[in-house]
Structure 1
Amino acid sequence: MSPTPSAAAPRRGPSRRPIGARIPRATYRLQLHADFGFDAAIPVLPYLARLGVSHVYCSPILRARPGSRHGYDVVDPAEISPELGGEAGFLRFAGAARALGLGLLLDQVPNHMGVFGADNAWWMDVLENGPASPHAAWFDIDWNPPNPALRGRLLVPVLGASYGEVLERGEIVLAAEPARGALVLRYHGHRFPLDPARYHRVLGPAASLAGGAAGERLAALAAAFAALPGREADAGLHGQRRERQRALQRELATTLAEPAPAAAVAEAVAALNAPQARDALDALHEAQAYRLAHWRMAADEINYRRFFDVNELAALRIEDPAVFEAVQAKALDLAAAGWIDGLRIDHPDGLHDPARYFERLQHGYARRAGLPLPAEGAAPGPDGPFRPLYVVAEKIAAGYEEVPRDWAVHGSTGYRFANLVNGLFVERANGARMERLWHGQVGAEEPQDFEALAVDCKRQVARGALSAQLTTLSQALQRLALRDRRTRDHGLPTLREALAEVAAAMPVYRTYVAPRGDGPGVVASAQDRRFVDWAIAQARRRSESIDDAVFDFIRGCLLGLPTVPGSEAEVGAFAMAFQQFCAPVAAKGVEDTAFYRWHRLVSLNEVGGEPARFGTSAAAFHGASADRARHWPHTLLASSTHDHKRSEDVRLRIDVLSEQPAAWKLGLTRWRTLTRPWRTEVDGREAPSRADQVLLHQTLLGTLPPGGLDEAGLPAYRERIEAYALKAAREAKRRTAWARPDPAYEAALGAFVRGLLARLDGNPALAELQARADTLAWFGALNSLSMTTLKFASPGVPDLYQGHELMALTLVDPDNRQPVDFAAREAVLRELEALREAADPAPALAALARTPWDGRLKLWILWQLLTLRRSQPALFESGSYLPLRVEGARRRHVLAFARRGREGVLLVAAGRKFAGLGLPPGRWPAAADWGDTVLRLPAALRGAGRELLGLQPGLLDGEHLAVGPLFARLPVAAVFVPRARVPA
């Protein structure tokens, strides 16, 4: 297949169902990049089809910055990445997938774009023309910031040192681009176009240097460029400026194609780059629509909204219909043409109005696909909002938070499930003991309470990395306060401090107050009001010096209550902007700071996790699963993702520590003694810190390979761990940080890791860690079998992250983006296919059970359940969820539920907390180990079926089902009874 479609209208793919989203059975995430593009991924597709997934879930495929390994720094949303293979490569990939019965989901980035370098044409145009650029309103830029020197200018915090220092060193240079007819400033790999109305400052001197006819042409061009309407001219002149400017640049390009004028311009450029011309070059820079600055300036004065605190990712105003079309058209065209079946939307909490965005997404798809649209203002139908395209949102929701039901999505990307299911393998009864152990290790280094730590970290981010945005919000709030005599005495510093406290106290990432449909202002839901009231109350309690009236005023503004008649629009704009501020405060404060400081049990420190909650009860798991079956049956179920801090199997190993706190305490004591030679002092304090040592030990226990490292693998492992330890320490922002690295501390940290992992022989610290890691690997592998069983049978769409169908002991990115050995996984699948066809599978299953940590049993279980999902799609897509009661002495070690549909019943049971059974590592749980434990079966579940995981008969007969025989071959079971009796 070698199509050559146009970018605007991709060739039509396979026909679609006329109405209704195509719901995946299961998805498999592939991380695409230059070394693993479309053509490299095509050979993987047959394996994925045999595995049983229905959809390949691709990382972003639109044109990103060159060399991007993740694709989230998109620079052109209208073009498929040439590094991945371009549009032709994508259609080859999509065609190969469809030929195998596989659909595609695409990851979309509507909130931001990559802007540094020289690759984003929209951003380049803004730099060139400032407010006169047609793209000036596409980015979320404040063209009228508090600093008068930045009015009408964009602060670009890209320099590695202060502007003056960089300029004096000659690192900022003027350059001509003859083929473009353009003049630019360059700083290493960055390009900053000059305002064409200022070209005369170069072309004028060049004309004098050229003389003759060439000089006359350059002089005429200099005058013509100088006559362009200015950037600050009336908006009605912007189009005229643009048209004339492009014509003049074409003329300049033609002129510079000739030797004489080209040489004169080159000489004028060289003169301005000479050391003695620094003042002139500075004056030229000051005349531009941007101001280059040290990257540290971003926290204080940046005047464009970013993705979190990442300077090179500028936020978009996707709420503007023109921006929406420009950003989303390509993906919607591909969907309407039948090449893709759905979208994953990155970071919707960064959007101005997520509900409206999702509605536009669905309507944009429907229009392109020729589907009937609902009537304007029509109420949602019995199946919820209009959702003809499968869409999931990367929404991080707290356990007490409801994803808004009016969003036109089919669910989220599964972070809540990942944390919910992981918590089942944490021994909740030992939470207080593990916390005492943690505090005993770190002493006064960290607060005694995670919630207090999280608030402190969010406050730090609000006042630090996001300080400029906080100032802008505070000034908007002050303008509102000044309009009313009752609030005009609220000073700016007080409002700023109070806003930081409220943002830090917000119990969720953000609220979702939304624009009114019947006039100016916003409307808040009951959930929004509850969260705002909570945040105000907590902030009030923590801020004894701030008057209650200030918090009352802020509360009203956050809920969209007008301060004075006619202020509805201003108040609404403030409330919407504050929500977009809260999300990065939460993400950077909790995920990227607090999670790297609090190490009671780091398997709980996961995206969307709540480390203050020590584990998940069976009742909580059942409640969440039943709710998901009723309201979000098509949401993704994740366990590992490209964003995870640790892979599922690393977490499931570390979970075992919660079952054995005494052994964990003893180990920490021993390792502290054995690692003394590699510790030192920096600034009078121990290095690495106690907290960093506890984190490192848990990391090693979670990632050391079972059976031990070998000499060949030791260097690569040591490099991985050292890189992780450095990243973790910088994220914690205690002894070093990305913004202020401490070379001495980082050197001490690196030396500690290298010492601990220096050699295999004669290294008692590593030997003891390895022995403990082998124990955790055994019980963690059993946990993994159970987690896999629960995930692939639960309500929702199970999602596999690349390579994690086997045991993948990966850490946070970039570690989790390592190349995947798909050939090895395919070989294991072939082995399992033979096992399923064997006359007596028991010996082969017993052989796999001897080494559960190698992942073959994990792959067996998920493959068996994916096969069932393929043969019984309706059971999983719409089947109900029924918790099953477990009775007997070992009831805490078993979780069970059933899925019911017209096709039949699936009974699922999984063991958990295996270390607590008292078995030594290496001994498989036998039937007798489950004692008198039974499952209570409702009459509707009884019948003759087959147990799919241990490949044995499954008879559901009578009121009780004994767990021992059910777990005779594996400590998990899935019994399918076809055509079961279903109550009317």
Structure 2
Amino acid sequence: MPTEVSSINIPRATYRLQFNKFFTFADGEKLIPYLHKLGISHCYASPYLKARSGSLHGYDIVDHSQLNPEIGSLEDFESMVACLHHHDMKQILDIVPNHMGIGGDDNHWWLDVLEHGPASKYAAYFDIDWRPFKEELRGKVLLPRLGKHYGEALEDGDIKLFLSSETGQFTICFYDQYLPVDPSTYPYILEYKSDSLSGGNSIETDPYFLEYQSLITAFKNLPDRNTLLNDPERREERLRDSIIFKRRLGEICQKCPAIKEFIFSIVSIFNGEQTKNFDLLHHLLENQAYRLTYWRVAAYEINYRRFFDVNDLAGINMEIPEVFMATHSFILELIKTGKIDGLRIDHPDGLYDPPQYYQRLTQYIAEAKEQPSQVQVIDNSAKPNFYIVIEKILASYEHLPQSWSICGTTGYDFANICNGIFIYSPTQKELEQIYARFIKYQFDFDRLLYKCKKVIIKTRISSDLTVLVNMLDNIAQSSRYSRDFTLNGLREALIEILAYFPVYRTYINVDRVSEEDKRFIQWAIAQAKKVNPGEDTSIFDFIQGILLLEVPTGVDIYQEIIPFVMRFQQYTGPVMAKAFEDTALYTYNYLTSLNDVGCDPRNYGTTVAAFHRENQERAQKWPYAMIASSTHDSKRSEDVRTRINVLSEIPAKWRKFLNLWRRINILKIRKSKDHRVPSYNDEYLFYQTILGTWPLYEMDEKELASYRDRIEIYMIKAVREAKIYSSWISPDHEYESGLIEFIHSTLSNIEKNRFLDNFLPFQKEVASYGLLNSASQVFLKLTAPGVPDIYQGNELWEFRLVDPDSRAPVNFSLREQMLEDLIDTANKAQSLSTYTYDLLKNREDGRLKLFLIWKVLNFRAKCSQLFENGEYVPLSTQGEKADHLCAFLRKNENQVAIIVASRWFSILGSDDNGLPLGESCWQNTQVEIPEAVECKIFRNILTDQQIEVIPELGKYYINSSQVFTHFPLALLIPSTMD
């Protein structure tokens, strides 16, 4: 039994809401009664602290101390919270500790850094390398914001100097962005041709002119931004005086029009408006605390840590207590006042030391809630005092450390294992052959991933590698045993290790080297050695020693080793994410339902035994972890994946139709350079994509055009992410236009379309089985150990693709009305089994999925301890169709529930109506009931049917043919239990 944590309010079920200017706190409040009826206990909110203007996701936070005004006011927020509490509901908030949005002029901290460089009070807040290898960048921040080379942008007039005469602030403007000018460089502008101000008149005796001259001197005397790192008093002097001097300049401009006009004329000269000479502006820019560059430079020279390779998201140093408090004070206040009851931590692997962060977070939460103890430690496992889940992607051979003071992950691991249940594993080789023959190429996924990592390292995030190499070189040069390792040798060795690194990251620190982390590092280095047998392998042994904190003689572990190891661990995550999720999974398309966050296409299918083991482990170690099937990051929604999974059951039909479609569409293929457009691989992806997303309703031409637009947007994104024929950095517009032309001609109309005439009957068959798959999947999610999460809109069938498709507006009015009608009809039905049979027959309308969620979640509300802390016991199945069942028991004291779900429907068989029901389908298949369950009659809460337990040779069974007479799923409880 798992250890209960009484101080945590454990969610019964969460519902993810995507807040932005199109879905506000007021909109969220309107939904609360609906979610309450559905059985949701906690709204699970996307980030809603102040983000970049127009942000649709909220992960680009610019101010942690206030709510996003585009989502609503504090009063709107409190009204939503009050409504939640009125319905006995709470909320979980997604927070972003790793990075901030810096792409505009709305992040005060970042603008202060750009103005004052290392002298800024916020300079240490951001993870900036102020001493990079390139001398021209020392004391500066590289800003890769220009759409063309710097010199070209300058001489095209894209970069301009601007003065606000009201505030006395000079800024650099380009496109629609503004950058501050270092106040210590103001004299370079203000002094230029200042002798012409007098013009032979008496202005030199004018008090404003004298003040102007005095102000120039004051600006000159500001302490230099690069000499104040260890002089806090002089730093404060610079920051304080800069504000005063700028204000005085604004006042002079307002009171003396002659000086104002003079400065404007000088600004015009700097901008080359008459002379087309930009030397003055260039010199001014060269003396700023930033270096404006072409955006392509970022991959190689950027000197601030980013979120992956996104230039507009800068990493922050959360390990510094001052930064932690500055970013968490508002959140802690919301927790203290009971407005937030759980946190989801976004991208924690990007943090310097994630375990330390979790510990600090729980400690401060304990203080905010005035709890006597922050964390209980039981059996070497941390039991947190607050509901916290982390966005963590685990490899199948990786385990979440129980010492972390969290409640588990956000559920990618469950999504992976549960999706695999509906893949028919015996067909793996056959499907691989179909794929290889179609694309005329044999993929080795391990080799593909290795190559993808190298591409990412060398082209997208090479600058971070350069920092690591320089740090490693400094360590090597500190010891006579490693001084002969060259910079290039260290670089190549690191690349090889990173290319073979088997997990997103390790969590080593000075007091922590786990056996699992040690094993991952040793494995990566062993693989790197294998592929470099001709090299001096001692360089790999040297790096392994450093990564495992085996300190060479003469090297300071705190000053040199630990900073390198921590930086290395922050780097492996982006390498894996960009290479695996955003490259390899858009390239290897043999069964795309495997290509999602947290999944691995090398793991084809999940055995029922493996599913049970995972659930048992979660019940024991992480009973309060989230379990998900669709998220805002999913590449394909749960209902798309369950459709595509059907192909694993019918490979022969899949092969037949693939070859037919290729022949039909052969004349729509065109050549681009040396390429077929689309490539065989992209064509293969296209067919799976439309199989998975084709709507359930019949489309008219307007609806078809809208659908076609969605597919075109997705396919362009897919080929750019794959980085073979096009990319985000270097789009091949010829290839992309050919791809769009293919999609358009293939989906051009409904009438007189030979392809659609052949595609739609097969698609309808796949879709029908896919809906049954999806019903079983959501049923398993609602009953397995953990906290089931529903992504907005997915209580009905949703056939969505990756962002932006997955974040499209949801028709909540339709869902509210459907739930009202469903509850009313179900409660009035004379026979619930007849009603559910009708839902099954008419499953295309979505009521089936909505009914399951409503029925099971409301049952969970009545028996919360059964699911929150109940045991998980796998049940044995026997008979001809035993492999088509997944059955388990949940037990807590005197409460018992038996869950039986069906799968692999296309090869299961059916009754006379084509449904997976009754004796003709299930024949002699049985589920064994443990003798300890002393009950002779069960009731299926989904149908109200009574199910008798059958004794046989000293054992007890229920017959599937009896359980599944009206519905292919069952949640059985003792008839005496209510």
TM-score (norm 1): 0.95
For residues 900 and 790 of structure 1, what CA distance do their matches in structure 2 show?
A: 16
Counterpart in the other structure of 2:395: 398
* One-letter identity of the residue aligned with 1:763: N
Query: Contact (CA 8 Å) 2:826, 2:832: kept in 1 or not?
Result: yes
Paired residues for 1:4-23 under 5 Å: 20-23=7-10
Structure 1 position 732, deviation (Å): 0.2
Counterpart in the other structure of 1:950: 943
* SS of residue paired to 2:65: strand
Moved more, 701-710 or 889-898: 701-710
Structure 1 position 382, deviation (Å): 5.0
For residues 823 and 782 of structure 1, what CA distance do their matches in structure 2 show?
A: 25
For residues 543 and 703 of structure 1, what CA distance do their matches in structure 2 show?
A: 45
Query: Contact (CA 8 Å) 1:875, 1:903: kept in 2 or not?
Result: no
Match of 2:966 among 966, 969, 976: 969
* SS of residue paired to 2:382: coil
* SS of residue paired to 1:76: strand
Match of 1:215 among 198, 209, 214: 209
For residues 561 and 673 of structure 1, what CA distance do their matches in structure 2 show?
A: 61
Query: Contact (CA 8 Å) 1:885, 1:936: kept in 2 or not?
Result: yes
Counterpart in the other structure of 1:307: 307
Counterpart in the other structure of 1:83: 70
Structure 1 position 304, deviation (Å): 0.5
Question: Percent identity among equivalent residues?
Answer: 40
Query: Contact (CA 8 Å) 1:62, 1:80: kept in 2 or not?
Result: yes
Paired residues for 1:756-771 under 5 Å: 756-771=746-761
For residues 459 and 705 of structure 1, what CA distance do their matches in structure 2 show?
A: 39
* SS of residue paired to 1:205: coil
Correspondence 1:923 to 2:914: yes
* SS of residue paired to 1:773: helix
Correspondence 1:933 to 2:931: no
* SS of residue paired to 1:968: coil
Counterpart in the other structure of 2:219: 225
Moved more, 423-432 or 473-482: 473-482
Query: Contact (CA 8 Å) 1:398, 1:508: kept in 2 or not?
Result: yes
Structure 1 position 922, deviation (Å): 7.2
For residues 491 and 978 of structure 1, what CA distance do their matches in structure 2 show?
A: 75
Query: Contact (CA 8 Å) 1:125, 1:135: kept in 2 or not?
Result: yes
Counterpart in the other structure of 1:155: 142
The 1:767/1:515 distance shift into structure 2, 3 A limit, reads farther
Query: Contact (CA 8 Å) 2:454, 2:499: kept in 1 or not?
Result: yes
The 1:600/1:18 distance shift into structure 2, 3 A limit, reads closer
Correspondence 1:660 to 2:650: yes
Paired residues for 1:548-947 under 5 Å: 548-569=537-558, 570-837=560-827, 838-919=829-910, 923-928=914-919, 929-943=921-935, 944-947=937-940
Match of 2:500 among 487, 501, 505: 505
Query: Contact (CA 8 Å) 1:208, 1:215: kept in 2 or not?
Result: no
Counterpart in the other structure of 1:266: 264
Structure 1 position 407, deviation (Å): 1.2
For residues 323 and 57 of structure 2, what CA distance do their matches in structure 1 show?
A: 23
For residues 940 and 257 of structure 1, what CA distance do their matches in structure 2 show?
A: 88
Q: Per-residue displacement from partner, 1:743-778 (whole Å, max 9, x unpaired)?
A: 111111111111111111111112322222111110
* SS of residue paired to 2:451: helix
TM-score (norm 2): 0.95
For residues 193 and 342 of structure 2, what CA distance do their matches in structure 1 show?
A: 55
Moved more, 851-860 or 722-731: 851-860
* SS of residue paired to 2:378: coil
The 1:800/1:921 distance shift into structure 2, 3 A limit, reads farther
Match of 2:478 among 483, 491, 494: 483
For residues 80 and 763 of structure 1, what CA distance do their matches in structure 2 show?
A: 51
The 1:22/1:200 distance shift into structure 2, 3 A limit, reads same
* One-letter identity of the residue aligned with 2:707: Y
Moved more, 141-150 or 674-683: 674-683
For residues 493 and 695 of structure 2, what CA distance do their matches in structure 1 show?
A: 49
* SS of residue paired to 1:940: coil
* SS of residue paired to 2:573: helix
Structure 1 position 470, deviation (Å): 0.8
For residues 436 and 536 of structure 2, what CA distance do their matches in structure 1 show?
A: 35
Match of 2:126 among 139, 154, 166: 139
The 1:511/1:979 distance shift into structure 2, 3 A limit, reads farther
Q: Per-residue displacement from partner, 1:194-214 (whole Å, max 9, x unpaired)?
A: 000001122223754554234
Structure 1 position 951, deviation (Å): 2.4
* SS of residue paired to 1:63: strand
Q: Per-residue displacement from partner, 1:325-368 (whole Å, max 9, x unpaired)?
A: 11111111101110010100001110110000011111111111
Counterpart in the other structure of 1:191: 178
For residues 437 and 954 of structure 1, what CA distance do their matches in structure 2 show?
A: 44
* SS of residue paired to 2:401: coil
The 1:282/1:256 distance shift into structure 2, 3 A limit, reads same
Query: Contact (CA 8 Å) 2:5, 2:385: kept in 1 or not?
Result: no
Query: Contact (CA 8 Å) 1:775, 1:921: kept in 2 or not?
Result: no
Gapped regions of structure 1 (runs ≥ 5): 1-16, 517-522
Q: Per-residue displacement from partner, 1:159-208 (whole Å, max 9, x unpaired)?
A: 10100110010000101123332111011121110000001122223754
RMSD over aligned CA atoms reads 1.8
* SS of residue paired to 1:906: strand
Structure 1 position 908, deviation (Å): 0.2
Give the paired residue count: 954
Correspondence 1:458 to 2:453: yes
Counterpart in the other structure of 2:286: 286
* One-letter identity of the residue aligned with 1:54: S
Query: Contact (CA 8 Å) 2:875, 2:929: kept in 1 or not?
Result: yes
Structure 1 position 903, deviation (Å): 4.0
For residues 931 and 217 of structure 2, what CA distance do their matches in structure 1 show?
A: 91
Correspondence 1:536 to 2:529: no
For residues 712 and 303 of structure 2, what CA distance do their matches in structure 1 show?
A: 36
Q: Per-residue displacement from partner, 1:381-437 (whole Å, max 9, x unpaired)?
A: 359325111100000001111111111110100000001101000010111111111
For residues 905 and 228 of structure 2, what CA distance do their matches in structure 1 show?
A: 72
Query: Contact (CA 8 Å) 1:708, 1:770: kept in 2 or not?
Result: no
* SS of residue paired to 1:923: coil
Gapped regions of structure 2 (runs ≥ 5): none
Query: Contact (CA 8 Å) 1:207, 1:216: kept in 2 or not?
Result: no
Correspondence 1:169 to 2:156: yes
Counterpart in the other structure of 1:319: 319
Query: Contact (CA 8 Å) 1:26, 1:866: kept in 2 or not?
Result: yes
Structure 1 position 917, deviation (Å): 1.4
Q: Per-residue displacement from partner, 1:45-90 (whole Å, max 9, x unpaired)?
A: 1100100010000000000000000000111111100000032221
For residues 388 and 842 of structure 1, what CA distance do their matches in structure 2 show?
A: 43
* SS of residue paired to 2:9: coil
The 1:245/1:434 distance shift into structure 2, 3 A limit, reads same
Paired residues for 1:360-439 under 5 Å: 360-373=360-373, 380-382=377-379, 384-439=381-436
For residues 386 and 799 of structure 1, what CA distance do their matches in structure 2 show?
A: 22
For residues 179 and 380 of structure 1, what CA distance do their matches in structure 2 show?
A: 59
Query: Contact (CA 8 Å) 2:188, 2:284: kept in 1 or not?
Result: yes
